[in-house]
Amino acid sequence: MKRMTVAAVVVACVVTGDLDARADRWEPVRGDRSTVRDAASVIGHRGNPADVYTENTVASMRSAAAAGATAVEFDVRVTADDRFVVMHDAGLGRTTTCEGLVRAKTLDWILQRCRGQRRREPVPALAEVLAWSRSAGVDLLVELKQAAGWDIDRMRDVIAAIERRDLGAHAEFLSFDPNLLELVEQVAPAMRTQLIISGSRDHDLAISRFDGVYVDPAEATPDLVSRFHALGMTAYGRNSNNPADWARYWSAGIDGFLTDRPDAADRVLRTL
C-alpha cells in the first residue's frame, strides 16, 4: 500500500483575491497526515451546485473556489468516441439541454449542442477542467463512474491528460468500483486512489489496496478514522449538506468531506 498524503487544506484558505495569485502559491501538502489535523478539507461536490450554477461545470467549480474550497470533486464519463466529458449521469437530460446517453454521443456533439440546465453554461470536457485547475490552483478529485467504456487504454488517456498538465500531485481518483481504481494503480502506481465505502460494505476492501476511503456520516467515528490513519490512509466524508454531519466529521478527525455548500461548511468549521 502506498503512503498517502493529504492533498488540500481548505478551512483557513478562503479566496478573497485573484485566483492566479493563489496558483502561484499552490503546493501539495506533504509529510505525515498528523501534521495537518488542525484543519479539515472542504471539497466542493461537483463544484458548488447549491449556488446558481449547474453541477459539474467550470462555473460551478469556480464558485466553489470562491466560496473557500481548494478542492473540487467532479465526475468523468466516456463518450462514444472514447473521449472524456465531465458529467455525473449516464444520461444528458437532468443537467443539460440535451437528451440521450453520454456513451451514445461524441464529445464534439455534446460540446457543440448541450448547455447546462441552470444558466446555459458550457458542458466541459475533461481537458477544460484540467486547464482551469492548473490556472486556479485548485485540487481535483476525479470520480470514475461505473459505466461502459472504461478499460486500461482509457485510463492511460485520463492519467496522461492529468500528467501533461503537471497535475499529478494535485489530483486523486475516487470510485465505488474497486476495479476502476485498480486500473488507475496499474497505470500510475503513484496516483492517489480512494474507495467510496457505503452502508454495510466491508471497510477492509480498501486496506492494502488503496490510499484512503470515503465514508458515510453515520460511520465516521474516531475509532474508524484512527484505524485508517494508523495504516497511513486518509478518511474523507461523503457528500453532506447537513451542519450536524460536518460537526460529526470534524469530531471524528476526518481529513475532509464533500458538500454542495462549501461556503456554509467553511463558516461552520471556523466555529468548531
- Any bridge partners for residue 142, and if so which? 74, 173
pTM, two decimal places: 0.86
Q: pLDDT tens digits, the chain, 272 residues: what are they?
A: 443 333 332 222 222 234 444 455 556 543 333 333 346 899 999 999 998 999 999 999 999 999 999 799 999 999 999 999 999 999 999 999 999 999 999 999 999 999 999 999 999 999 999 999 999 999 999 999 988 899 999 999 999 999 999 999 999 999 999 999 999 999 999 999 999 997 666 778 788 899 999 999 999 999 999 999 999 999 999 999 999 999 999 999 999 999 999 999 999 988 98
Closest CA to 106 of 124, 79, 87: 79
**Angle, vertex CA 154, rays to CA 150 and CA 156, nearest 5:** 130
DSSP 8-state assignment for residue 4: P
